[in-house]
Amino acid sequence: MVDWLGAHDGVRNVHDLRVWALSTTRTALAAHLALVGAPSERTRTTMAAWAKHSKDRV
């Protein structure tokens, strides 16, 4: 997960990554991302889609 998050344009560092089970079929994730300047359109789109997907599943 750290590698995937860190591979996006504008992400300088990923830290304080936490993953925990909400149930036997659902997980949650929280992380701090250090960005270089404003994130690229690709990064914003990818992160927004991922966050929406995650929210819809919880």
pLDDT confidence bin for 8, thresholds 50/70/90: confident
Higher pLDDT, 15 or 49: 15
What are the pLDDT digits (tens) for 31-55? Answer: 888 988 877 888 788 878 877 766 5
**Total-model pTM:** 0.59
How many angstroms separate the CA atoms of 7 and 28, rounded?
Answer: 20
Is 17 within 8 Å of 29 (Cβ atoms)? yes
Write down the domain spans for the chain: 2-57
Q: Taking 90 as the threshold, does the pLDDT of residue 13 lie above it?
A: yes
In the predicted model, is pLDDT for residue 21 greater than 70?
yes
Distances (CA, A) of 20 to 17, 27, 44, 58: 10, 6, 24, 13
**Positive or negative CA dihedral for 39, 41, 45, 46?**
negative
The answer to whether the CB of 1 falls within 8 A of the CB of 17 is yes
